[in-house]
Chains A and B, each alone.
Chain A
């Protein structure tokens, strides 16, 4: 079984269809066998390879594809129940008339989230990771190929609800956005530092509930910036709409920057004269 790319496993599904192996045989058989004792001598082989190098290669391919087509991809990470899907729906409603949007949903089971997204009229593809605890760059690449993405568009990836594992897996996104709801503890950034370190933006969600809670906003901001001093933070309530303007403008600016980058890259290409 391979939970990294889904190849050779019946656990990972894209919109309910199994992912199939295409790089490595999935028979479960391996072609190297131990031979009789005494016949061989030991030797050392230097490897010096990062365990995540394969994922990172796929992530770089994704990033290159996204840059070429001016697609702004955000990887939304949080614990389960932080309000990611509601946030996504409200974000789509605010942007879908000005930008083309697609969504990749990651969950262990069910396509309920993708169905909620599709109800807004935006294409959404569900990845079911089976027993896997995170999305990786290879799964996302498969999903991107199936989504028929538009140039100059937005692509949201809603990662599996998990504050631990998605931190280590680059998907090729422009930014990781971590969502923390005020119904969770202020100390989440200290307890799960990797994900707050990996993110560029933190959305503090469900802020409409603050009057009913003892959640200390200043403290959570201080904790988060201990881990990541450059972390941008926006306080929002996706359900009530407060603070959403700042988030929407942040996305628009990000989309514009990938479009500008692309224009500049094209402008920098050497001109070939016709003679």
Chain B
């Protein structure tokens, strides 16, 4: 259940931003979660609902933006779409190794007041 830790980290980043930028309440959180990241979205939403009580994000809506996975195929010398680490290149069938996108777990933007 490392999603709990991730939500705690997220809360701290937002509280730091609140102190720096002077906002008192968060209405919406846009978060990017990569398809290849170690995050289970349902677990993340569940942990979010547990952790936010009494905090600045208590009434915030959590919007998760899916980031599709992609990797560099060494054989085809091009970027290809993958949905898991052990996916093969759809063009040549080789196992792709260099993940380009899809490992993100980032807070992108907040709507605040």
* A binding-site residues for B, Cβ under 8 Å: 1-4, 24, 28, 30, 32-35, 40-55, 131-134, 136, 164-165, 167-169, 190, 193-194, 197, 223, 226-229
Contacts and interface: CB of A to CB of B under 8 A. Distances in A.
Interface string B1-40: 1101110111011110110010111010001000001100
Contacts of A223: 86
B13 A194 contact: no
Contacts of B95: 226, 229
B59 interface: yes
A47 B108 CA distance: 5
A34 B86 contact: no
A34 B25 contact: yes
Contacts of A51: 6, 9-10, 13, 31, 105-107
Contact of A229 (B13, B97, B111): B97
Given A34-B58, A34-B59, A49-B13, A40 B109 contact: no
Interface centre among A32, A43, A131, A165 (most CB of B within 10 A): A32
Contacts of A35: 24-25
A228 B8 CA distance: 30
B86 A226 contact: yes
B109 A44 contact: yes
A229 B85 CA distance: 12
A50 B106 contact: yes
Nearest to A196: B85
Interface of B: 1-2, 4-6, 8-10, 12-15, 17-18, 21, 23-25, 27, 31, 37-38, 54-56, 58-59, 84-86, 95, 97, 104-113
A183 B39 CA distance: 28
Given A47-B108, A54-B12, A194 B18 contact: no
Nearest to A33: B24
Contacts of B27: 42
Contact of B15 (A32, A132, A169): A32
A44 B1 CA distance: 30
Nearest to A43: B112
Contact of B38 (A24, A30, A34, A168): A168
A42 B95 CA distance: 47
Contacts of A48: 106-109
A165 B2 contact: yes
The 5 closest A-B pairs by CB, nearest first: A165-B2, A40-B113, A168-B38, A4-B5, A193-B85
Given A51-B13, A52-B9, A227-B85, A134 B2 contact: yes
